[in-house]
Structure 1
C-alpha cells in the first residue's frame, strides 16, 4: 500500500536522549492506543549528574486500525513521495494513504453513519527497532512521567 504527502507532527528526539528510547510498549484503553516510551534523562543536582528514568505516552484517540512491525524490515507500505520529505523516527501524518482510503471505503459499506475524520500516523523507534502505523482521529503527547 502506498503512503505519501508526509507532514511532521512531532519529533521525539526533541525530548529523547541522542541514543533514543530505552523501551517502547503499547496498550489500549477503550478505543485509544497508547505507546509508552521509556527513556533516561541526565540532570545536574548539586553539581552531581543524576539519571532519571522517565516515560512519555503518545495517545492515539479513537483508533480504527493499528499495525506494529519490525524496523527495519518488511513493510506493508511503500513511500510514494520524495524520500527527503519523510524523516525516520518522527511522528508523521500521511495525507495521501491508500490504507486510509481502503478503510474509509470499508466503513461506508458496513455503516450508514458518517466516518470519523481518521488520519494515518506513522512512527519508527530506532533503538527498539519497531514501527507503528495507526489510523486514528487524533494524537496527543503526555508530559514527562516517572517510570512505573
Structure 2
C-alpha cells in the first residue's frame, strides 16, 4: 500500500485500487488513512484532521466530495478471528451533495471498503431563485 500512488490518474481509480488492496491487510484506520493521504497527488484537495476524527471511509468520501466527484464508497465490517468491539453502524455512505457527519463511534479496527456502484449519481437540479421586479 505504501508504494501505491495516485500518480496522475483520476482520484476515483486511485480510491478503487486502494480499497481493493486495503482489504488484504489487517490495519486499523489510522495507518490506512495516513497511507491514503500520503499517496495522493499534490493537486488533489484534501483536509488534515486528527486521526480519530473521521473513519477511513468518511475521510475518503470527504476527499471525493471536495474534489467534485460523484463517486462514493461504503464501509463493510469484515469478519475477524479475534473478537473486538465494533460500532453498531456497519454501513456508512453519503449522498455526494450531503456533508458527511462524523459517527458517534470512533473506528475501532480495520474496515474493508466496497465500491457499490461505479456509475455517478445524476446531478441534483436546483430551483432557480425567484426574481422580483
**Fold-level similarity (TM above 0.5):** no
Report the TM-score, using the length of structure 1 for normalisation. 0.25
Higher helix content, 1 or 2: 2
Higher strand content, 1 or 2: 1
Report the TM-score, using the length of structure 2 for normalisation. 0.27
Structure with more relative contact order (C-alpha pairs < 8 Å, separation 6 or more)? 1
